[in-house]
Amino acid sequence: MMRLKFLPLAALLALAGCGTGPTADMGSDAQPDASTTLPYIGNSEPAAPGQDSAATHATVPAFRLHDQDGQLVTNQSLAGKVYLTDFFFATCPGICPKMQSEMLKVYKQYGTTPNLRFISQTIDPEHDSLAVLRDYARRLGVGTPGSSWRFVRASRDTAYALAAAYFTGAMPDAKAPGGIAHSGTFALVDDQGHVRGLYDSLNPQEVTRLQKELPVLLAEVKTRQGQPATAQR
């Protein structure tokens, strides 16, 4: 597993809003070409002779989180699945309501797609207990058993480190709303733990780009896993 070089929050914010990706400049009605693949984001090393090039790209470091129902969420439990993740806190008076509104929009479109998960991680675990996360999910209307959207927590240090690993960012800031500065980035991760897309949830064009690129990644993964390439919407 490769070690990611963590960037300062300002640099992560800039990266998250850069709009990289094969469909970034498509018109609103355009559809990605079936042969399109998404970029790998992060550090990479030259492939050895005969080595799968995907194996040279950075992967998200190992994690152990607990969701709102107390179930363990790890790299292993998400292996073979695509997931979309963000970082928030329940009492956030700033960007979080907008972020989760946009995540909900994507969830309503793709939430029943097999092998796709939505993972929202709190960056304020001292307040956001499992009970708080359950209530948060319920108020969003996604708290039913078996939902593909999970709200997870770990220690604050773990949350901050994972935010950096997903090329978003979070840090204490007394001047920020709620006392924590963080970006509104959504990170799209493939079945092998590679970050394949970054999207500014506060930019409607970026959310539209995500909605177009998500089926591209799902099709790639289904092809790799030998499944039919039609994504459920």
**Cα-based distances in Å from 49 to 46, 55, 57:** 9, 12, 15
Whether residue 2 has pLDDT greater than 90? no
Q: What mean pLDDT value characterizes the chain?
A: 83
Mean pLDDT along residues 191-218: 97
More confident residue, 53 or 106: 106
Paired tokens of 147: 């939902």
- The confidence band for 196, taking pLDDT boundaries of 50, 70 and 90, is very high
Whether residue 115 has pLDDT greater than 70? yes
Whether residue 136 has pLDDT greater than 80? yes
Q: Output the pLDDT for position 53.
A: 59
Q: Which of 41, 156, 144 is nearest to 89 (CA)?
A: 156
Mean pLDDT along residues 65-83: 97
Mean pLDDT along residues 107-132: 96
Model pLDDT for residues 12-37, shown as the tens digit of each residue? 333 333 333 333 333 333 344 445 78
Number of CB atoms found within 10 A of residue 156's CB? 16
